[in-house]
Structure 1
Amino acid sequence: MNTAIQCIVLLACTIICTPAGSIRCLCVNTISAVDPKRIAGVEEYGLRPYCNKKEVIARLKDGTKRCLDPAEKFTIALVQVFKNWANRAAEMNATSPGTTRSPRTSTTTTMVPTSP
């Protein structure tokens, strides 16, 4: 049998045998808000090949996850807050070698090498 025909048959079998529901969006239902005190983190997903909508998932301190409506003002503000926290953490960790930064103060201490 011709190689091209074999590839077409294999592709058709793969499409037929793959369940349609196995690859889908993570969030089926969304909620408008969650108690901010219970939130440990936020995961934001953009458009993907198998999901054509933006998804925002709040990880709660008890280990559960809640899907938030990405169009809600609460969700937009929550994502912005966590992005700001991540940026601050990245700035704290991106100090130059030989420089330390105390997490409680905004001053920078430079370490001076001592001669032997």
Structure 2
Amino acid sequence: MKTVIQCIIFLACAALYTSQINPYCQCVKTIKGVNFSLIADVKEYGIRPYCNRREVIVILNDEKSRCLDPKQRFTKALLLRMRTKKANAAKMNTTSPRTTTVPSRVSPTMSATVVPSST
């Protein structure tokens, strides 16, 4: 009976712990790189009050996430590539002033009259 109560208390504590947001660093273990073609998105987090290191998280096409080491050349190149990609996308979304021409129309009250020529 005592073991059953301990198991129930343990399960209740585990359920409470996992239901709360973990306010610590998301990256416990980092990798050096990932294939560029597998990357769907990149998230970069700076130093925060509850995490004292910079984190770079890559979301893959199969919706899995991997943590990259921000000091690696691969990660620096990836971040540069993503920033330039976003900057180019922002440039494409801005509209430039254009002049448009409106086609001339003949009003219905004015019609072309044919004048017979005298020969």
* TM-score in terms of structure 1 length: 0.66
Higher strand share: 1
Match of 2:74 in 1: 74
Give CA deviations for 1:40-78 in whole Å, capped at 9, x if unaligned.
111111011111100001111111110000000000000
| Structure ID, larger Rg | 2
Alignment of 1:26-105 (within 5 A): 26-96=26-96, 99=97
**Percent of aligned pairs with the same residue?**
44
Q: Counterparts of 1:42 and 1:69 in 2: how far apart (Å)? A: 13
Off by >4 Å, runs of 4+ in structure 1 = none
Secondary structure of 1:81's match? helix
CA RMSD of aligned residues (A): 2.0
Match of 2:100 in 1: 112
Instruction: Provide the aligned length of Structure 1 versus Structure 2.
Output: 85
Q: Counterparts of 1:74 and 1:46 in 2: how far apart (Å)? A: 18
Question: Which consecutive residues of structure 2, in runs of 5 or more, have no partner in the other structure?
Answer: 1-16, 106-119
CA-CA distance at 1:113 after TM superposition = 5.1
